[in-house]
């Protein structure tokens, strides 16, 4: 059994508008001198800590939880799951 930190990033799918990211880009970043930035996407991250036998099982379990409890809405959002040793 190991303890893992699992980061779940929830963001809008491509094609779904992200007014928060657009506002940060257009009204903050690009109004300064940071003209090399071309895109910002706002996302939400949930950090889970989980005890499982290995990293792969931890990732699978978190994916199942996110699907079952609609942690993200699959119509408009996608998730990225990253697993780290705690």
Partner 1 sequence: MKIGVVVFPGSNCDRDMYHVLTDVFHLDTQYFWHDKGLPKNIDAVILPGGFSYGDRLRAGVIAAHSPVINDVRRLAAKGIPILGVCNGFQILVEAGLLPGVLLKNTSLNFMCEWTNLVVENNQTPFTNQFELGQKIPIPIANGEGRYYVDEATLEKLKKHNQIVFRYTDSVNGSSYNIAGVCNEDFNIVGMMPHPERAVESEINPIDNKPSSLIFKSLLHTIGVEN
* Least CB distance to partner 1 at residue 76 (A): 5
Find the binder of partner 1 among 30, 40, 71, 81 (CB under 8 A).
71
**CA-to-CA distance for 85 and 58, rounded, in angstroms?**
11
Site mask, partner 1, residues 15-34, x = CB under 8 A? -xx-xx--x-----------
Interface with partner 1 (CB under 8 A)? 16-17, 19-20, 23, 69-71, 73, 75-76
């Amino acid at each position: 059994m190991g303890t893992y930190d699992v980061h779940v990033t929830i963001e809008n799918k491509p094609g779904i508008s992200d007014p928060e990211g657009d506002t940060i880009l257009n009204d903050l970043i690009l109004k300064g001198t940071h003209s090399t930035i071309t895109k910002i996407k706002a996302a939400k991250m949930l950090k889970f800590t989980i005890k499982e036998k290995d990293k792969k099982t931890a990732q699978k379990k978190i994916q199942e939880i996110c699907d079952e409890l609609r942690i993200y809405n699959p119509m408009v959002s996608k998730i990225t799951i990253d697993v780290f040793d705690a």
